[in-house]
């Protein structure tokens, strides 16, 4: 179990007493001021565990206002590990604590603190009552606070630590099994060939067999998570893509292979995920937890796929800002709203569904009665990778259930490469399944008004890794005949970045109609010489261009340390870009 390095002689402890002494000299005793001393101590200790102290942490309650606790310590999986409630010197903790528990304050690792005293509850019991005027008692209660692990959390920590290596081993074993069956199992050979054709038609005509094999492995290793954690036991029978994959898996298991037996050694990990997710009442937090599990899964197993697709998930404050901004611009520039009929919304690179879910919440806040029509007819999104497609489908469907109390399958999501939609040949192909093809065609015929999301960005792939970003003849030509042609730069390699294609694609998708494009991207388009043609075309293509430079280019600014000064924790700079276009005849 991790231990906290903290002694009475350490600087955070000394700082705690020094700050309180300064306040005392000034006669300041109110909670808002004196609590800062303990908050600074918690912040300092949290860094040892790579946790984050979130002030004014909200805990949702059914049909009631959320509880706001002074602070919660949250880990990298967005799991709250401990809670803190501050009081001032005049508060009677023994009287205040029962009141807090009565309204729903957590009883698991909950610390109530005033400048001279703290009471710690773990597993519903008072475990420590410390005199904080004594430095050793302060150290002892803070250490107990940080080092405690609820049983489910302790199990999760141990399982998560081992999972990366275990999933690699299982993936390797599955790959060996698949390749053996490809030679000897006629039923599997036929099923795999049919599945390969579907994948090449839907995702990439040059898709390698290894990529399709990886999709099967991803499905086998994660299908239980989707069934159990998302409480969706019929997932494999209900999701239109999972149905096709299950056909191949059934053929694979037709000869001497038991899925349950093979995965049994991962039972502890699956159980840890399930138990940990069960401790989270708020579904959005559960989504964050599972999204992080997914990210770490890709980092441990599918690093090349993650790299070529530029997998970086958008912080919630940025998503919130972008959705609110789009609503504001719709009202101000067009006299419209996200709730209005006819305002079709598309996330072309949906990932795990964060933008679409936030749009749904915004619609529900403005006019909840508008959500069913919007959900059924006017929300659209695409994803090219299997696991985020699965997660996005269930996240979006659950969000609808949360807002309406009804479960409805989300038919606006397509498993398709957005850039491939620009290729004329896609029109004549069956895209994975009849239902998926219908969804893609419906989207192509829809008058998209808002395009919003986080396109992939990763221009410089290593050729030695055989991991380069793929070519898209139509989109590459469009970039060449506009952005590249209008650039005076000598080196235009940066224009091969997928996010540049995304801006070009979105601009073309809006076309001569009116609409809004809102992307968070690499911020090179602001000043870099190679992007002069991009800037020129944006000026010509749109009536208003709003760019919010979030900085964070670690490579260009040596004063930035590592990735902590970047909103995504990546090396390149970031900007939020919103482009507004009125009808051409009004220009």
Using one digit for the tens of pLDDT, what is the confidence trace for 264-320? 877 877 788 777 877 777 766 776 777 777 666 544 455 454 444 444 567 888 999
| Average pLDDT score over the chain | 83
Question: How much is the average pLDDT of 200-223?
Answer: 76
Instruction: List, for residues 479-530, the tens digit of each pLDDT value.
Output: 999 999 999 888 888 888 899 999 999 999 998 899 999 999 988 899 889 9
Higher pLDDT pick, 127 / 204: 127
| Rounded-to-integer distance, Cα 2 and Cα 49, Å | 8
Asked if pLDDT for residue 467 goes beyond 60, the answer is no
What are the structural domains, with CATH classification, of the chain?
A: 11-148 (3.90.1570), 153-301 (no CATH), 306-349+412-586 (3.40.50)
Instruction: Give 533: exposed, middle or buried? Use CB within 10 Å, 0-12, 13-18, 19+.
Output: buried
Percent pLDDT > 70 in the chain is 84
Question: How much is the average pLDDT of 106-110?
Answer: 92
Confirm if 384 and 418 have CB atoms less than 8 A apart: yes
- For position 122, what pLDDT does the model report? 94
How sure is the predictor about 427, in pLDDT bands with cuts at 50, 70 and 90?
very low
| Rounded-to-integer distance, Cα 393 and Cα 238, Å | 11
| Rounded-to-integer distance, Cα 410 and Cα 382, Å | 12
- For position 413, what pLDDT does the model report? 95
- For position 485, what pLDDT does the model report? 94
- For position 562, what pLDDT does the model report? 47
Asked if pLDDT for residue 362 goes beyond 60, the answer is yes
Beta pairing, strands 379-383 & 117-122? unpaired
Higher pLDDT pick, 320 / 154: 320
Asked if pLDDT for residue 133 goes beyond 50, the answer is yes
Structural tokens at position 435: 């239902």
* Sequence-distant (≥ 6) Cβ neighbours of residue 360 within 8 angstroms: 371, 374, 375, 379, 396, 399, 400, 403
| Rounded-to-integer distance, Cα 391 and Cα 348, Å | 16
Confirm if 540 and 571 have CB atoms less than 8 A apart: no
- For position 431, what pLDDT does the model report? 55
The pTM for the full model equals 0.71
Angle at 208 between CA 204 and CA 214, to 5 degrees: 100
- For position 135, what pLDDT does the model report? 94
Confirm if 496 and 460 have CB atoms less than 8 A apart: no
DSSP string computed for 314-369: PPHHHHHHHHHHHHHHIIIIIS--TTSTT-EEEESS-TTSHHHHHHHHHHHHHHGG
Strands (E), 405-468: 413-415, 448-453
Confirm if 370 and 376 have CB atoms less than 8 A apart: no
3-state secondary structure of 118: strand
DSSP string computed for 59-113: EEETTEEEEEEEEEEE-TTS-EEEEEEE--TT--HHHHHHHHHHTT---SSEEEE
Instruction: List, for residues 534-574, the tens digit of each pLDDT value.
Output: 999 999 999 999 999 987 665 666 565 544 565 555 557 88
Asked if pLDDT for residue 465 goes beyond 50, the answer is no
Higher pLDDT pick, 426 / 375: 375
Closest CA to 351 of 387, 324, 301, 308: 387
Strand partners, 577: 519, 547
Structural tokens at position 1: 């179990």
């Amino acid at each position: 179990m991790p231990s906290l390095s903290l002694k009475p002689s350490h600087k955070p402890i000394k700082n705690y007493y020094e700050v309180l002494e300064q306040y005392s000299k000034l006669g300041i005793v109110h909670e808002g001021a004196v609590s800062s001393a303990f908050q600074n101590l918690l912040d300092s200790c949290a860094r040892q565990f790579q946790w984050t102290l979130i002030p004014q942490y909200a805990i949702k309650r059914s049909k009631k206002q959320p509880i706001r606790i002074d602070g919660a310590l949250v880990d990298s999986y967005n799991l709250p590990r401990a809670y803190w409630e501050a009081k001032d010197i005049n508060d009677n903790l023994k009287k205040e604590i029962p009141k807090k528990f009565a309204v729903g304050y957590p009883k698991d690792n909950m610390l109530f603190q005033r400048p001279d005293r703290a009471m710690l509850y773990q597993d519903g019991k008072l475990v420590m009552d410390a005199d904080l005027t004594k430095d050793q008692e302060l150290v002892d209660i803070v250490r107990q606070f940080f080092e405690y692990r609820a049983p489910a959390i302790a199990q999760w920590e141990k399982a998560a630590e081992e999972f990366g290596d275990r999933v690699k081993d299982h993936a390797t074993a599955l790959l060996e099994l698949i390749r053996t069956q490809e030679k000897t199992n006629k039923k599997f050979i036929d099923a795999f060939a049919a599945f390969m054709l579907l994948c090449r038609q839907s995702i990439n005509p040059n898709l390698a067999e290894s990529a399709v094999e990886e999709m099967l492995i991803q499905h086998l290793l994660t299908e239980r998570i989707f069934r159990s954690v998302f409480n969706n036991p019929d997932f494999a029978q209900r999701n239109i893509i999972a149905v096709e994959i299950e056909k191949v898996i059934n053929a694979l298991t037709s000869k001497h292979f038991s899925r349950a037996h093979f995965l049994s050694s991962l039972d502890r990990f699956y159980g840890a995920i399930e138990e940990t997710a069960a401790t989270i009442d708020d579904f959005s937090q559960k989504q964050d937890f599972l999204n992080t599990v997914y990210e770490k899964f890709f980092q441990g197993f599918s690093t090349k796929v993650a790299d070529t697709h530029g997998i970086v998930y958008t912080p919630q404050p940025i998503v919130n800002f972008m959705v609110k901004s789009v609503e504001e611009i719709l009202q101000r520039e067009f006299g419209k709203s996200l709730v209005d009929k006819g305002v079709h919304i598309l996330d072309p690179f949906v990932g795990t569904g964060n933008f679409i879910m936030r749009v749904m919440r915004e619609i529900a806040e403005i006019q909840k009665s508008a959500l069913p029509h919007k959900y059924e007819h006017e929300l659209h999104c695409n994803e090219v990778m299997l696991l985020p497609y699965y997660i996005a489908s269930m996240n979006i469907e659950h969000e609808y259930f949360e807002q309406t109390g009804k479960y409805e399958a989300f038919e606006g999501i397509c498993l398709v490469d957005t850039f491939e939609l620009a290729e004329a040949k896609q029109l004549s192909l069956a895209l994975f399944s009849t239902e998926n093809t219908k969804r893609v065609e419906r989207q192509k015929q829809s008058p998209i008004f808002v395009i919003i999301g986080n396109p992939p960005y990763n221009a410089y792939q290593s050729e030695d890794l055989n991991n380069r970003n793929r070519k898209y003849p139509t989109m590459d030509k469009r970039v060449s005949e506009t952005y590249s042609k209008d650039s005076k730069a000598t080196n235009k390699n940066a224009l091969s970045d997928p996010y540049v294609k995304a801006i070009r694609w979105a601009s073309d998708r809006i076309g001569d109609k009116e609409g809004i494009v809102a992307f968070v991207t690499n911020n090179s388009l602001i000043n870099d010489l190679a992007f002069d043609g991009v800037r020129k075309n944006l000026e010509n293509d749109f009536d208003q261009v709003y760019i919010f430079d979030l900085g964070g280019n670690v490579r260009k600014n040596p004063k930035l340390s590592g990735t902590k000064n970047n909103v995504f924790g990546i090396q390149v700079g970031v900007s939020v870009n919103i482009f507004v276009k009125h009808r051409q005849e009004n220009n």
